[in-house]
Amino acid sequence: MCANVSSAPSIPAPATPTPATPAPGTGKSLTAGLALAFLGSIAFSGKAIIVKLAYRHGVDAVTLIMYRMLFALPIFAAMAWWAGRGQPALTRKDWLGVLGLGFTGYYLGSFLDFAGLAYVSAGLERLILYLNPTLVVLLGWLLYRRGIGWGQAAGMLLSYCGVVLVFGHEAHLQGANAAWGSLLVFLSAVSYAIYLVYSGELVQRLGSLRLVGLATTVACLCCLAQFALLRPLSAAVVAPEVIWLSLLNATLCTAAPVLMVMMAVERIGAGVAAQTGMVGPLSTIVMGVWILDEPFTVWVAAGTVLVIAGIFVFTRMARQRR
């Protein structure tokens, strides 16, 4: 799948293209695929809203992500088992790759994202994460000296200007907290971009569903171990609302959209599914205003338009270069 289908490091859908990308479907298949892609993108976007709601009950990032991963663990373990039926056993090299990608892309990316959401709005968080495809290209340029076309560079510049615009508005309201939270979320996006850059070989060997199931299982175990090391057992006693929100996060905003986006790609292809991902930032901002009472100003609107337009130009130019 294309990296910008969800741009959500907190256990997003597998985002590295498989060797063969299915062609867009027609008729009912096309309609169903578009519906699945839209619903999957919106469900992913709801993660930030749920996290912000949970923070209102006095829980910290370490405890909150522990509960989210605790509920997600059996789902992703079952996914890994299902995808691995009848497949060759993993080699030592495969396991090292899964451990490294699970730690970097899903554990570290998820934790940094959760920590950043304590300081920034859900809308700004989603816009920063939406820059993920540009980070993948930048890492490719730094690590492998892959070229960046002028069209791609123009799209990147446009999208980053949009994020800076929204960040500047939020920093004016919240001060240093906005800078710290934005840095954490940006590092989260970088962590997931590293996963995308290095996961290609494993995806081809294991398959996207099996790799996601295994890597997220590793991330879940890391989050549980982190809580055990950093918090006393009494810290697990939280408000009932936190439990229910975490359960909702693990199912509706984690496991369900992974499957919906994968089913969408089977029906309409990765390219079309990726374009529907543009509804993600918009839905997060709408839900943030509606549910969290986050301010929606002309600066937020202008920044959002710039980011979405920039990523659209960037992805379009990237496809033309292939």
pLDDT tens-digit profile of 33-44? 888 888 888 888
Can you count the helices (H) and strands (E) in the chain? 15, 0
Find which of 41-45, 196-200, 218-222, 278-282 is predicted with most confidence, using mean pLDDT.
Answer: 218-222
Length of the chain: 322
Which residues, including other chains, have CB under 8 Å from residue 287's CB and lie 6 or more apart? 45, 46, 49, 122
10, 72 contact by CB (below 8 A): no
pLDDT tens digits, one per residue of 140-170: 888 888 878 888 899 999 999 999 999 998 9
Which residues, including other chains, have CB under 8 Å from residue 301's CB and lie 6 or more apart? none
Q: Which of 24-28, 178-182, 257-261, 291-295 has the lowest mean pLDDT?
A: 24-28
pLDDT tens digits, one per residue of 62-110: 999 999 999 999 999 999 999 999 899 999 999 999 999 999 988 999 9
Q: Which residue has the higher pLDDT, 204 or 166?
A: 166
pLDDT at 262 (0 to 100): 74
Distance CA 66, CA 229 (A): 12
The torsion angle over the Cα atoms of residues 216, 193, 250 and 311, rounded to 10 degrees, is -150
114, 255 contact by CB (below 8 A): no
115, 269 contact by CB (below 8 A): no
pLDDT tens digits, one per residue of 11-34: 444 443 333 444 445 567 788 888
Share of the chain above pLDDT 90, in %: 50
The residue to which tokens 């699970």 are assigned: 102
Average pLDDT over residues 262-277: 72
Question: Nearest-CA neighbor of 168 among 118, 138, 111, 127?
Answer: 127
Distance CA 236, CA 148 (A): 47
Question: Nearest-CA neighbor of 200 among 105, 128, 86, 109?
Answer: 105
Q: How many CB atoms lie within 10 A of CB 105?
A: 28
Residue 34, φ and ψ in degrees, nearest 5:
-65, -40
103, 221 contact by CB (below 8 A): no
71, 251 contact by CB (below 8 A): yes
Residue 117, φ and ψ in degrees, nearest 5:
-65, -15
In DSSP notation, 202-253 reads: HHHHH-HHHHHHHHHHHHHHHHHHHHHHHS-GGGG---HHHHHHHHHHHIII
pLDDT tens digits, one per residue of 300-319: 899 999 998 998 888 877 76
Question: Nearest-CA neighbor of 123 among 163, 64, 81?
Answer: 163
Question: Nearest-CA neighbor of 7 among 95, 116, 129?
Answer: 129
Q: Is 271 exposed, middle or buried (0-12, 13-18, 19+ CB in 10 A)?
A: middle
Distance CA 192, CA 132 (A): 8
Average pLDDT over residues 172-180: 87
